[in-house]
Structure 1
């Protein structure tokens, strides 16, 4: 490894992010909103000024040089597209030190693959966030590489604790998290859109229906988290004999909603696993 090590400065931990797309916005947005890392301690690199402008507007440091992020920061987030990861790591590997903590957000790129691309002994973690991290209501799972220990896990969990739910899991669960949560946000938006369309069909204005649908989804999710009940139990609690809900659920079952959602999670998980084999 390079001799010069990145160490926390007097202003605290310095976080760098290579990549400035939606996932970078989500995770860094959560860090900024939570106050865990001051904006002046965040450096973001990307080839496009258009993507970097968002972070400049928030007060972050920006650069077109990926390797300069390593020189300036302690924790390095890799937020590029999966197929770009090898190129990026080859570019910056000479600047990786024993004091860096490297955290990949690239879908489908395993820790085994990452560890082949960085110097021996590098402290690596792999995480999977979802977009609502930007409003501190996200879901994040992470796993440690072979040289990352409890200290690194605790540090990452602390950094991301205000982004929403954050859990350490065995690495095979990460691709499943992609299927259920990373991609799952889009399934929920599609369902919300369908709820709104149904209400509009029955005569409710779209703006009113949108607010009600969003609150319905938010409330349902919070009840699962706060009660600890299985979704099937909560669903049953809403149903009364011969009532409106059981009639509606019958239509959803006839339409194959349950099987379709299961298939969607499987498809996204399988695709995430395929990405590491390319």
Structure 2
């Protein structure tokens, strides 16, 4: 049993805590920090997890997860530098920020892993990419792999790919939610009750995802299997191509990647 402290009680911090509890991690082995008392009380009441001040969290944590906004990292690292134990493994979930920033600001030799999960941790279906810093051992990386493996799937990538990962899977759930929202609204515009449109689309999305995962087929193969020449699906796909949907999606993901790069540049000096 590893004592884990999550610094930051925002959506991602809460998602990880919730996912770890659902995976069987005892509440007494978890704690978190949060600067807003009302938010701290919400999490404590909901999950039964201890809320501690930073010094208390660093004193008990074997694995310390930083889950704050990038703009809040610099002052946090200033506080951590004087209280972090040398053996503590640090995991950053901060979009765009490289391990070098944490290694530079924390005690010499601190082991830092960069992790980019997504909010599907809440249902145990996260996609997390890990990149080790220069002081991380194989055993430590395995440990972080196991922690995030309790809330979904894990891959290991070179840190140079983390900005693209952030754009693809870190932000990825939002793209699917956006698409589902648009499809539900389209159903309503066609005269369908909203609840029925929602049920149809959500189940279709779930089924499509399972087909991709379980068949192992390329998306093109699966798409062509339901696209009859001159049929309804063919007409819909032609309209999507005419409107430049594919190009718009590629541009959106590139914009997310660029923003991740900007964050690294802005806060990693």
Q: Distance in 2 between matches of 1:54 and 1:31?
A: 17
Partner of 2:55: 67
Q: Quick check: 242-251 or 156-165, which moved more?
A: 156-165
SS state of the match for residue 217, structure 2?
A: coil
Q: Distance in 1 between matches of 2:107 and 2:210?
A: 43
Q: Distance in 2 between matches of 1:251 and 1:261?
A: 15
- CA root-mean-square deviation: 1.2
In the superposition, the TM-score normalised over structure 2's length comes to 0.95
- What displacement does 1:232 show? 1.6
1:19 equivalenced with 2:3 (yes/no): no
- What displacement does 1:97 show? 2.4
The one of 17, 41, 51 equivalent to 1:53 is 41
Unaligned stretches of 5+ residues in structure 2: none
Q: Distance in 1 between matches of 2:117 and 2:41?
A: 22
1:183 equivalenced with 2:133 (yes/no): no
Partner of 1:271: 259
- What displacement does 1:98 show? 2.9
The one of 147, 152, 171 equivalent to 1:159 is 147
Cα contact 1:75–1:103 (8 A) shared by 2: yes
- What displacement does 1:61 show? 0.5
Q: Distance in 2 between matches of 1:254 and 1:19?
A: 44
Q: Distance in 2 between matches of 1:14 and 1:141?
A: 22
Q: Distance in 2 between matches of 1:136 and 1:116?
A: 33
Q: Where do 4+ consecutive residues of structure 1 move more than 4 Å?
A: none
Q: Distance in 2 between matches of 1:216 and 1:178?
A: 26
Count residues with an aligned counterpart: 265
Cα contact 1:19–1:79 (8 A) shared by 2: yes
Q: Distance in 1 between matches of 2:29 and 2:42?
A: 16
* 1:1-278 matched pairs, under 5 angstroms: 12-35=1-24, 37-57=25-45, 58-63=47-52, 65-278=53-266
Q: After superposition, give the CA deviation of every residue in 1:79-125 in whole Å (9 maximum; x if it has no partner).
A: 11101112111101122223211000011110111111111111110
Unaligned stretches of 5+ residues in structure 1: 1-11
Partner of 1:4: none
